[in-house]
Amino acid sequence: MEGPRMRHMFLIAACMAPPAALADPAEIVAIEAVERGGAWQFSVTLLHGDTGWDDYADGWRIEAPDGTVLGTRELLHPHVNEQPFTRSLSGVEVPAELAEVIVRARTNVDGWDEAGVTAALPR
């Protein structure tokens, strides 16, 4: 009798465990940077397997090489049927001495992608 009872307990415990992480990081497919009147506009194209509100790319940001955040673009909803997709952020102040920035994407499941993509600024 001990065997069936133990099997039942395992099934209940397995059902209560958090779901395995099936998420993937958002991929930065393209970056466009244009200087306008002393500030910059960035257009970033992301590709991600958005499944809905449970797993979607929810932002990207521009960083200086030292990690200082220069600007953040929040994405307020999933883009399930729009992949890849491009969103822009204007008015980003980039110090004149910087020749490049790092663009980092975020998902609501995994947070900020550690890798990031380095983008040269057309100065």
Give start and end residues of each alpha helix (H) in 1-123: 2-16
Q: Which residue has the tokens 């663009």?
A: 103
Question: Could you report the per-residue pLDDT of 56-66, keeping only the tens digit for each?
Answer: 999 999 999 99
Exposure on the CB side of residue 100, measured as CA atoms within 13 A: 9
Query: What is the rounded average pLDDT for all residues in the chain?
Result: 85
Question: Could you report the per-residue pLDDT of 2-30, keeping only the tens digit for each?
Answer: 554 444 333 333 333 344 444 589 999 99
Quick one: DSSP state of residue 63? E
Choose which CATH entry (3.40.190.10, 2.60.40.150, 3.50.50.60, 1.10.3720.10) describes domain 2-120.
Answer: 2.60.40.150
φ, ψ at 9 (rounded to 5°): -65, -40
What is the structure's pLDDT at 16?
37
- Are 27 and 42 in contact by the 8 Å Cβ rule? The answer is no
What is the structure's pLDDT at 54?
93
CB atoms within 10 A of CB 36: 9
Question: Could you report the per-residue pLDDT of 36-81, keeping only the tens digit for each?
Answer: 888 999 999 999 999 999 999 999 999 999 999 999 999 999 988 8
pTM score, whole prediction:
0.78
Question: Could you report the per-residue pLDDT of 90-119, keeping only the tens digit for each?
Answer: 999 999 999 999 999 999 999 999 989 999
Q: How many contiguous H segments (helices) and E segments (strands) does the chain have?
A: 1, 8
